[in-house]
Amino acid sequence: MSINRYVKQLRDSYREDKKAFIFFSVLRVLVLLTLVRCLFTKNYQSAALCVLTLVLFLVPAFVQDKLKLSIPPVFQMIIFAFIFAAEILGEVNHYYVRIPGWDTMLHTMNGFLCAAVGFSLVYLLNRGSKNVNLSPFYLTLVAFCFSMTIGVLWEFFEFTMDQFFFLDMQKDFIVQGFGSVTLDPAQMGTPIHVSEIVDTAIHTASGQSYSIPGGYLDIGILDTMKDLLVNLAGAIVFSIIGYSTLKYSKSSKVADSLMIKPNDVPQEESSEGNHD
């Protein structure tokens, strides 16, 4: 399947939903304008991110075509907004650094989206089985665990990039206190509490010096735990929505908007599940 065919498939699918088509078109134009700006300023790394974003925009069409699935337009809009916010706003326009909480927002959204994908995967695997009858609680548990697993794997990826390429994907935090057994002079494993840190000095073997005003530089651990906690929050929110839908309702606009389905599933059956 050629790129032109993917683009045409995206365009045709979104034309069924005018709002989704306008949303997709606006995002694509913004990415193209950003790409032109990056080329004019000779910022080729950011230009590469723009190209990557345009490629990622084609992934839903590729998945639908190759796996014979139907991804609801609303779900695709959320995915595209996430990609745009992460790559164009976060990386190219430096929102990760300029706007406090930008990374936190995206990790929360990631937890929510991955839980939705987890629900869809179980639905697709369980669909058509006459011998397996999965309860709403089990479906919810699988979706929740899937979301948290993706969150942990992403933190592994960030850690690997930081260790081998020094990218600082696990953003640093300035802290004013910590406890450490390394500082125990008796080496008895007693945590020594250091508080009210006002600045930190770093000296390297090559003679370089760095000053960190305001406290001590935490390397990644606070960012990692914060990301996992907000991923947990997003996963819990969707798990509650999913469980309520499966347990108490035969149909749901939320499920129809977020559940990936096989192409041969009628729309009215798309949000049905087991309600044991």
Residue 243: predicted pLDDT: 87
> Which tens digit of pLDDT belongs to each residue from 186-219?
999 999 999 999 999 999 999 999 999 999 998 8
Residue 261: predicted pLDDT: 81
> Which tens digit of pLDDT belongs to each residue from 141-176?
999 999 999 999 999 999 999 999 998 889 888 999
Residues 18 and 97 in one domain: yes
State the total domains in the chain. Answer: 2
Range(s) of the domain holding residue 187: 173-218
Residue 270: predicted pLDDT: 45
Domain end among 218, 233, 250:
218
Low-confidence ranges of the chain (pLDDT < 50): 267-276
Instruction: For strands 199-203 and 192-194, give the pairing.
Output: unpaired
- Residues 216, 196: Cα–Cα separation, whole Å: 10
Residue 267: predicted pLDDT: 46
State CA 244 to chain mean position distance: 24
By the 8 A CB rule, do 253 and 270 touch?
no
Residues 142 and 207 in one domain: no
What's the pTM value of the predicted model, to 2 decimals?
Answer: 0.84
Residue 224: predicted pLDDT: 95
